A and B are shown apart, each in its own frame.
Chain A
Amino acid sequence: MISLASYLAISFALFVCGILVMIARKNIIAMLLGIELILNASALNFAAYTKFVNNNLDGHILSLFIIVIAAAEASVGLGIVIRFFQLRESIHIDDAATLQN
């Protein structure tokens, strides 16, 4: 039951859920939630391939870097969202259509 195929299926489900969140929702914070789901799916794939295909730990290293980058991306993204809310008083994605003013 614990096999590469089941891990790939789980991470595929996570990835599809993340893409669906990013497409369907119009809220910037909800889209960030979708990005977190997608990054988790890729990190899970790396760890599963380390376990079942090759037995050096490079996949774990890549998963660690994915987690680090996700944390950095979340902090900067949420900072941008809060700044945007201060300026426009909205977090609808369609309100973020211009770069200036």
Chain B
Amino acid sequence: MFTNTLFLLSAALTIGGAVAVVYSHNLMHACLYLLASLFGVAGLYAVIGADFLAATQLVVYAGGVVILMLFAIMLTGGTGNKINRYGLEKIASMGNKKTYFFAGFAAVITSLILLKIIASVLRAQPTNKVLAANDVTVNKLGVLLATDHILAFEISSVLLLGALIGAAVISRPRKERHD
């Protein structure tokens, strides 16, 4: 019962936040709606027993990425900058009759392919191999990261170092040449 309620709330938060990101006219508001959507995804992780993933999602996204986005919006002029208030109002003029015809054709073919794939997925769904409900995954994840996936772990540490140095070098203040 509690799990079902949590699932419904998280799903509503996720999809509502994502749709609000699409249709918001203010970029600052869109960033906060993205935060709501990421909270919903963390709740969805918690529902299926991925406790460490939920915590990581909250720490990295809510504490890091969204704050970084807000800083970037403010450093590029905030909502006083006209482009930051630019929403989807130009989307009605994006196509004519020909492009709409091709887009509808592509949508029909894509939906057929998706129906084919989803039907096979739903038919072959094994339900007997489900993780135990209250199993803590942190121990197993730590062991897996340090044994089976050690190469990817090290490579990601090098990637993070590169991203750190790259971001610092790219966004440093411009030096004036005096020679």
Contact = CB atoms under 8 A, between A and B. Distances in A.
Nearest to A74: B65
Contacts, number: 204
A52 to B, nearest CB: 7
A33 B11 contact: no
A29 B50 contact: no
Q: Is the interface of B mostly helix, strand, loop or mixed?
A: helix
B62 to A, nearest CB: 12
Contact of B45 (A26, A47, A74, A91): A47
A20 to B, nearest CB: 5
Q: Which of B7, B41, B75, B145 has the most CB of A within 10 A?
A: B41
B166 A76 contact: yes
Contact of A75 (B50, B75, B131, B164): B164
17 contacts: A7-B48, A14-B37, A40-B38, A51-B50, A51-B130, A58-B144, A67-B53, A70-B60, A70-B61, A71-B163, A73-B163, A74-B64, A78-B171, A79-B166, A80-B171, A83-B170, A85-B75
Interface residues of A, number: 65
A44 B41 contact: yes
A96 to B, nearest CB: 12
Contacts of B30: 30, 33
A85 B53 contact: no
Given A8-B118, A33-B21, A79-B171, A68 B15 contact: no
A50 B57 contact: no
Contact of A29 (B45, B53, B72, B90): B72
Given A7-B44, A74-B68, A60 B52 contact: yes
Nearest to A5: B122
B51 to A, nearest CB: 10
A14 B15 contact: yes
Given A91-B84, A92-B83, 11 more contacts: A4-B125, A21-B22, A25-B87, A26-B90, A33-B69, A64-B53, A67-B56, A71-B60, A86-B174, A90-B83, A91-B76
A75 B22 contact: no
A99 interface: no
B170 A52 contact: no
Given A10-B14, A37-B37, A51-B50, A71 B64 contact: yes
B167 A76 contact: yes
A54 interface: yes
Interface in B100-159: 118, 121-122, 125-127, 129-131, 137, 140-141, 144-145, 149, 152, 156, 159
